[in-house]
Amino acid sequence: MPTTRPAADLQAIVAEIHAELAPSFGAGKVADYIPQLAHVDPRGFGLAVVTLNGALHAAGEVEVPFSIQSISKVFLLTLALGRLGESLWTHVGREPSGTAFNSIVQLEAEHGRPRNPFINAGAIVVTDLVLAGHSPREAIGEILRFMRFLADDETIAIDAEVARSEVATGARNYALAHFMRSFDRLAHPVDQVLGVYFHHCAIAMSCHQLARAGLFLAAGGRSPLTGNSVVSAARARRINAVMLTCGHYDASGDFAYRVGLPGKSGVGGGILAVAPGHAAIAAWSPGLDANGNSLLGARALEMLARRTGWSVFGA
Amino acid sequence: MPTTRPAADLQAIVAEIHAELAPSFGAGKVADYIPQLAHVDPRGFGLAVVTLNGALHAAGEVEVPFSIQSISKVFLLTLALGRLGESLWTHVGREPSGTAFNSIVQLEAEHGRPRNPFINAGAIVVTDLVLAGHSPREAIGEILRFMRFLADDETIAIDAEVARSEVATGARNYALAHFMRSFDRLAHPVDQVLGVYFHHCAIAMSCHQLARAGLFLAAGGRSPLTGNSVVSAARARRINAVMLTCGHYDASGDFAYRVGLPGKSGVGGGILAVAPGHAAIAAWSPGLDANGNSLLGARALEMLARRTGWSVFGA
Amino acid sequence: MPTTRPAADLQAIVAEIHAELAPSFGAGKVADYIPQLAHVDPRGFGLAVVTLNGALHAAGEVEVPFSIQSISKVFLLTLALGRLGESLWTHVGREPSGTAFNSIVQLEAEHGRPRNPFINAGAIVVTDLVLAGHSPREAIGEILRFMRFLADDETIAIDAEVARSEVATGARNYALAHFMRSFDRLAHPVDQVLGVYFHHCAIAMSCHQLARAGLFLAAGGRSPLTGNSVVSAARARRINAVMLTCGHYDASGDFAYRVGLPGKSGVGGGILAVAPGHAAIAAWSPGLDANGNSLLGARALEMLARRTGWSVFGA
Amino acid sequence: MPTTRPAADLQAIVAEIHAELAPSFGAGKVADYIPQLAHVDPRGFGLAVVTLNGALHAAGEVEVPFSIQSISKVFLLTLALGRLGESLWTHVGREPSGTAFNSIVQLEAEHGRPRNPFINAGAIVVTDLVLAGHSPREAIGEILRFMRFLADDETIAIDAEVARSEVATGARNYALAHFMRSFDRLAHPVDQVLGVYFHHCAIAMSCHQLARAGLFLAAGGRSPLTGNSVVSAARARRINAVMLTCGHYDASGDFAYRVGLPGKSGVGGGILAVAPGHAAIAAWSPGLDANGNSLLGARALEMLARRTGWSVFGA
């Protein structure tokens, strides 16, 4: 089903949102646990909509790369499902967590099995599964190639300095990984798993690239940009479902309520959202809200969903 | 947007699902905490689809009333939103809970404010809000009138014996209510609030009635059956969002993954599901799974969503 | 073993402590959840030491009755052990709780079995056991007679107004009781159990009376005042052990560290402490610390234990 | 105050306990998380009582060294208190934990500050404090010298193979340490702190050596064996208090109830107990109960306390 909006309308909507939000640029709190994230311009903003026909409707700095951080978890999940199929879910759940994204309480109560692949513990388990049979370097290479393949863009790269900084500041992630290892939930040494994990979180992409990379989720699993089939239509729906229920940590319910689209946020200020049958959307603004999600990014998506009628919950 | 399926196709799909599930009738465990629920025929099954044009596509015992139990929480939320508007959310959250439906741990950690209106604690708070300015008897009457108005059916009634039994066995709900009262979260005495709560849980409805009552959620807030506007289109979307993220207790993620429709289950074995722009659906089968949701009801909805392409997450 | 201190010394120590603390009288925060407790003079203070030979060494207002509140839990435990013997411990644990005194989290994690008889939930279970075979009125009467018997003082009475106020404000206790009932941990209706519970918490006693009532615990189970055997020596030791590990809610470790005596506090500002082989001690000062224990009462006991060398942990 | 028992009696009591327990030798479950612990003879048993005059009363294999494991936490606490004094308690609490010895839930709820120095997290913090200003090798050397000084025995050594195995299997401890580091609770790198931690847990001592090393705690802080003052009398009392309330993980209340002596257990099957004014006692039997404490060791101490009247809670 092609997008139901004339392209001209859509471009106008995107431009309006940019204009209406401009007075608020800089709102929220930029992540500062590593210097590389703290040094970003807090007033940066981008909104890119790529419709099923491949057209880009954009406003703001949609070609500026930023650290995708947790948004990479969507693509890791896609890779791991390709490897293991539905048996992936013996390793990680698919329920919203009801606790903060890096909580260890839930892990203890549930014997080291993470609730879903979009909290840190779950993404660490998924990374461990993607690592199987590879060296860390190979796994990182494969993930990067997958991102380039999805976006059809060979320039996508990892910010090595960000990855190094994550290693230095990642005490909580080390705790989660060792903790899961104490329940025999990881097949590889903690250092290897986290090495890969920190690298895929450190991938730098622009809004434009990110929207292109996520387009297969809006298009029944096949990228309209390249014609490549990435996953089956059923799997695309299911990944969207996990994004909707778990994509914004402990504010997933609020995002569903306000925006009504599957989405995944990252502390770099990006959000990837999917409007099934219509478009993939990437919003970026570094200032975060109290839950660690992009403040203006979410607001932009809320405005977009309302004005396009793309909410999955009804026109 | 009218349903995209020819009516003949849809009736055939419903009939097929009934036939395919028939060998499994009786699977799952019937709720037995009160005798009135335990005495139901475990082999009962009904599937009713009411499309936006008001047509019914049904199979099985779709005219047999059953105890809607927690499904009533959707309608209470609708009533309370009508009264308080968005300020309702100062009293109750809208995030998935991550713990069992009657857990008290989350309440303690969050100072007596329930996570969402579809766990017991949240629905008790919503009942307290609906009770404002009324006697318990009046509030029960108003809720019943609302259900009859929605379904356009004056025969809908409360099973008084079920309501009485709930009072006798509801120790956990009394604990939740007193606990919230200790945080000043309830304006009315516990006995009054629970009196109303147990009565709306004891409403008996058939699949046909339930699908009719929920149709406004699939139709932008206006019931196509009567032409009555129930809520705004935006509010209908939002109620659907809460159903999708929170409607199946600690298996909400799984229901979204498998079925891909907003839904709300009850321990009486019913599930109300909403296919925005297409139909409202009620499934009923008394046997429950380990999470307290109808085993075959969920399976029927999974089959229906796949065969109709109605998943909100893509065709 | 008689007290190792000459009586003159002991009286001097008690007088010194009173004098040294006098500038601080009124420190701490008086419990105000019911008016009857809030109206007490915050500058009240009493310290009564009754040695094994029955002699009283006292300073301050040791004949002024105050609400013993949770100190009654020690005597209820004694009564219940007399009834059930060691099988009591199938109903309640004897481990420190690690959470606040009225926490419900631990109860949920441990299926409704309270950790020890000195947190509210545990004392409610013990009250339920003491109630067995009696009407609430009879049970209250028996508890009161037991207190009079122990202190050899027929004037001890219940403050009925306090008991009534507890009923009105006891939402948290109602929640705990209903919650345990949902796990089938209570044999009697919640209202009956809490009726008895609130009444024994509302017993009013002076420091002098309290020290006399607790003397059997310092004297191998037999009261030197009357010659009556209350419990065996082994049981007296064991009750002392539970007081030491669990007697001050989540500050039990701190009390053991600073004072080194088995003790039980109440929100009325009283503390009963036991120096095995030496004396029973009651301290009273209404101002509470952040953990709900008497601020100056604990300080007085710390000074007393240091100056007498009565710490159970060494001279 | 010298022991109140004639030496002949005491030797008879110890011999009787050995004889009465002999039919049960081998009961319980030997720790098997590292091969070095699993290979111990499960039927081993020793009971050594060293009275204040230095006399040994012993039965069984009291000269056989075993891995003291968590018993080392008592001596680390003593060292750290010597360094920091009471300011130690800003780094770690002194309340019983109410959860299993290696639980991470409590840590998260309390912002990474361990409840007491005898759970793993607390001992890791104490180790970090002892490490201050030293290389790991120096710190290990200092701890070993302290043990030799206390027991007046230069043959005490670390089992290097045990230490190495702990490193390989210590995922839970790595998780705890990284987790605390994420709250800035550790001053040194995790690998250094745990290196020292695993080495002091791997100290091998016999019952005889252990009882001698702990004698200062029964004797007001000064070792009667050497005349050396180790800590003040007040500090000895306080360490005893922490042992009594926290020394047996989540069975500390039970040990106080049954035995009535300050004690500290280790998964190697040893227990060090202190009878203030009388003796230090070491019991050893490798089979553990469900809480990870020596099954027969605790039973032997219960018999000893009853027959000697040494319970701190009364004769």
Paired with C272 in beta bridges are: C264, C282
Q: How far is CA C36 from the centre of its chain?
A: 19
Return d(Cα C281, Cα C58) in angstroms, integer.
10
User: Is residue A29 annotated as part of the catalytic site, yes or no?
Assistant: no
Residue B38: both structure tokens together: 């335990």
Paired with D30 in beta bridges are: D287
Q: Is C99 an 8 Å CB contact of chain B?
A: no
Q: How far is CA B271 from the centre of its chain?
A: 6
Cα distance from A284 to chain D (closest Cα, Å)? 28
Q: Is A179 an 8 Å CB contact of chain D?
A: yes
Instruction: Provide CB contacts within 8 A for B207, sequence distance 6+.
Output: B46, B47, B48, B58, B60, B61, B62, B63, B64, B270, B282, B283, B284
A280 in helix, strand or coil?
A: strand
Return d(Cα A186, Cα D175) in angstroms, integer.
13
Q: What pLDDT is stored for residue A99 in this prediction?
A: 72
Return d(Cα D193, Cα D207) in angstroms, integer.
27
Provide the pLDDT confidence category of residue A10 given band limits of 50, 70 and 90.
very high
pLDDT, tens digit (0-9, with 9 covering 90-100), for A151-196: 999 999 999 999 999 988 899 999 999 999 999 999 999 999 999 9
Q: Is A145 an 8 Å CB contact of chain D?
A: no
Judge: B104–C103 Cβ closer than 8 Å, yes or no: no
Sign of CA dihedral D192, D194, D197, D201: negative
Closest CA to B279 of B207, B216, B205: B216
Q: What pLDDT is stored for residue C60 in this prediction?
A: 98
Pairing of strands B263-265, B203-205: unpaired
Paired with D49 in beta bridges are: D57, D281
Backbone angles phi and psi of A169, in degrees to 5? -110, 5
Higher pLDDT, A68 or B102: A68
> Per-residue DSSP letters for D110-171?
TTT--S-TTSHHHHHHHHHHHHTTS-HHHHHHHHHHHHHHHHT-TT-EE-HHHHHHHHHH-H
Q: What is the mean pLDDT of the segment spanning B33-44?
A: 92
Return d(Cα C201, Cα C140) in angstroms, integer.
11
pLDDT of residue A214 exceeding 80: yes
Higher pLDDT, D2 or A289: A289
Q: Is A152 an 8 Å CB contact of chain B?
A: no
Of the ranges A298-302, C105-109, D131-135, D172-176, which one carries the lowest mean pLDDT score? C105-109
Q: How many CB pairs under 8 A join C and D?
A: 129
pLDDT, tens digit (0-9, with 9 covering 90-100), for A122-142: 999 999 999 998 999 999 999
pLDDT in tens, chain C (315 residues): 334 567 779 999 999 999 999 999 999 999 998 888 999 999 999 999 999 999 999 999 999 999 999 999 999 999 999 999 999 999 999 999 877 656 787 888 888 999 999 999 999 999 999 999 899 999 999 999 999 999 999 999 999 999 999 988 899 999 999 999 999 999 999 999 999 999 999 999 999 999 999 999 999 999 999 999 999 999 999 999 999 999 998 899 999 999 999 999 999 999 999 999 999 999 999 999 999 999 999 999 999 999 999 999 998
Q: What pLDDT is stored for residue C101 in this prediction?
A: 59
Closest CA to C210 of C256, C277, C266: C266
Residue D259: both structure tokens together: 């035995």
Answer yes or no: are the C-beta atoms of C104 and C242 closer than 8 Å: no
Residue B202: both structure tokens together: 């004891």
Q: How far is CA A82 from the centre of its chain?
A: 18
Among B254, B277, B315, beta carbon nearest to A315:
B277
pLDDT-above-70 percentage for chain D: 97
pLDDT, tens digit (0-9, with 9 covering 90-100), for B232-288: 999 999 999 999 999 998 899 999 999 999 999 999 999 999 999 999 999 999 999
Provide the pLDDT confidence category of residue A97 given band limits of 50, 70 and 90.
confident
Closest CA to B147 of B249, B52, B73: B73
Q: What is the mean pLDDT of the segment spanning B175-183?
A: 95
Q: What pLDDT is stored for residue C5 in this prediction?
A: 64
Residues of C with active-site annotation: 70, 73, 197, 249, 267
Paired with C282 in beta bridges are: C48, C272
Return d(Cα D24, Cα D298) in angstroms, integer.
13
Q: Is A181 an 8 Å CB contact of chain D?
A: yes
Among B98, B276, B306, beta carbon nearest to A106:
B98
CB burial readout C178-195, b (16+ within 10 A) else e:
bbbbbbebbebebebbbb
Q: What pLDDT is stored for residue A101 in this prediction?
A: 59
Answer yes or no: are the C-beta atoms of B111 and B184 closer than 8 Å: no
pLDDT, tens digit (0-9, with 9 covering 90-100), for D7-47: 779 999 999 999 999 999 999 999 998 888 999 999 999 99
Report the mean per-residue pLDDT for chain B. 95
User: Is residue A196 annotated as part of the catalytic site, yes or no?
Assistant: no
Looking at beta carbons, which residues of chain C come within 8 Å of D253? 93-96, 116, 241-242, 245-246
Judge: C98–D93 Cβ closer than 8 Å, yes or no: no
Among A1, A233, A245, beta carbon nearest to B256:
A245
pLDDT, tens digit (0-9, with 9 covering 90-100), for D138-177: 999 999 999 999 999 999 999 999 999 998 889 999 999 9
Q: What pLDDT is stored for residue A8 in this prediction?
A: 78
**CA–CA distances in Å: residue C284 to residues C33, C150, C293, D60, D98:** 19, 19, 10, 50, 29
Sign of CA dihedral B86, B88, B89, B90: positive
Answer yes or no: are the C-beta atoms of B270 and A269 closer than 8 Å: no
Q: Position of tokens 């419709």?
A: A51
A48 in helix, strand or coil?
A: strand
pLDDT of residue B38 exceeding 50: yes
Q: Residues in chain D, how many?
A: 315
Return d(Cα D109, Cα D172) in angstroms, integer.
18
Sign of CA dihedral B179, B180, B183, B188: negative
Q: What pLDDT is stored for residue D2 in this prediction?
A: 39
Cα distance from A210 to chain B (closest Cα, Å)? 19
pLDDT, tens digit (0-9, with 9 covering 90-100), for D46-70: 999 999 999 999 999 999 999 999 9
Q: With a CB-CB cutoff of 8 Å, which residues 187-206 of chain A face chain D?
A: 190
The amino acid that residue B64 corresponds to is V
Return d(Cα A145, Cα A156) in angstroms, integer.
9
> Strands, E, within chain B: which ranges?
29-30, 46-51, 56-60, 66-67, 157-158, 203-205, 263-265, 270-275, 279-284, 287-288
pLDDT, tens digit (0-9, with 9 covering 90-100), for B87-125: 999 999 999 987 765 678 788 888 899 999 999 999 999
**CA–CA distances in Å: residue D244 to residues B237, D269, D297:** 59, 18, 16
Q: How far is CA A41 from the centre of its chain?
A: 21
Q: What pLDDT is stored for residue A3 in this prediction?
A: 44
Provide the pLDDT confidence category of residue D79 given band limits of 50, 70 and 90.
very high
Cα distance from D103 to chain A (closest Cα, Å)? 8
pLDDT of residue B2 exceeding 70: no
Report the mean per-residue pLDDT for chain D. 95
Judge: D98–C94 Cβ closer than 8 Å, yes or no: no
Instruction: Please report which helix (H) or strand (E) contains residue A235, including its range.
Output: helix A233-246
pLDDT of residue B208 exceeding 90: yes
ipTM score here? 0.95
Q: What is the mean pLDDT of the segment spanning D296-307?
A: 98
Return d(Cα C166, Cα C148) in angstroms, integer.
23
Neighbours of chain D (3+ CB pairs under 8 A): A, C
Tell me which range, A2-16, A25-39, D203-217, is most confidently predicted by mean pLDDT.
Answer: D203-217
Q: What pLDDT is stored for residue A106 in this prediction?
A: 81
pLDDT-above-90 percentage for chain A: 89
Other Cβ atoms within 10 Å of C233 Cβ, number? 18
B154 in helix, strand or coil?
A: coil
Return d(Cα B51, Cα B11) in angstroms, integer.
11
Provide the pLDDT confidence category of residue D109 given band limits of 50, 70 and 90.
confident
Answer yes or no: are the C-beta atoms of A208 and A56 closer than 8 Å: yes
Judge: D94–C252 Cβ closer than 8 Å, yes or no: no
Judge: A104–D109 Cβ closer than 8 Å, yes or no: no
Residues of D with active-site annotation: 70, 73, 197, 249, 267
Return d(Cα C183, Cα A310) in angstroms, integer.
47
Residue B302: both structure tokens together: 């999974």
Return d(Cα A52, Cα D177) in angstroms, integer.
49
How many CA atoms lie less than 13 Å away from B246 in the CB half-sphere? 34
Provide the pLDDT confidence category of residue D3 given band limits of 50, 70 and 90.
very low
